[in-house]
Structure 1
Amino acid sequence: MSLEELKTSKKVVGTKQTTRALKEDKVKVVFIAEDAEKHVVRNVEEISKQKNINIIYVDSVKKLGKACSIDVGAAVAGILKE
């Protein structure tokens, strides 16, 4: 799984949307920005680990936001299951 796949796949962006999708078992992989505030991403990280969902760490929120085709940074994103 790469950032390129994130650009072209159906996805959720942001902690709220990603958390909701994780709880509904709709996510196949999670991307987390390494420079994001830890308290912001902690819940997503914990749920992902509990559900054995792969976590891919990205260098920065800016890079993750760009990969999600948004003009602002993103701390968390997830690729949805087909």
Structure 2
Amino acid sequence: MSYEKVKQAEKLSIGTKQATRSVELGKAKAVFIAKDTDLRLLNKITALCQRMDVEITYVDSMKLLGKACGIDVGAAMVAIVNE
């Protein structure tokens, strides 16, 4: 399951602002996006990831993505960040 990569990652940028910033700075290795994310945000981060050549993985829900990150709230997106 793709959630395992999130659980095993040493460094994460959790949330829309942090994940977007990591991609913009060229620090993101991969981005995980919840399928129930707001469409406007989804389109923006997808285009940015394609432009920056960052791998995208879609996951079922914000709730499950948040849980994989070890937080009690949902997360729209998460970036695995290079050290």
TM-score normalised to the size of structure 2? 0.90
Residue 35 of structure 1, CA deviation: 1.1
Aligned AA (2:17): K
Residue in 2 that maps onto 1:58: 59
Give the 5 Å matches for 1:66-77. 66-77=67-78
Is it true that 1:26 corresponds to 2:19 in the alignment? no
Aligned AA (2:8): T
Identity %: 45
RMSD: 1.4
* Unaligned segments of structure 1, at least 5 residues: none
Residue in 2 that maps onto 1:47: 48
TM-score normalised to the size of structure 1? 0.91
Say which is worse superposed, 41-50 or 17-26, in terms of deviation: 41-50
Secondary structure at 1:79 match in 2: strand
Paired residues, what number?
82
Aligned AA (1:7): K
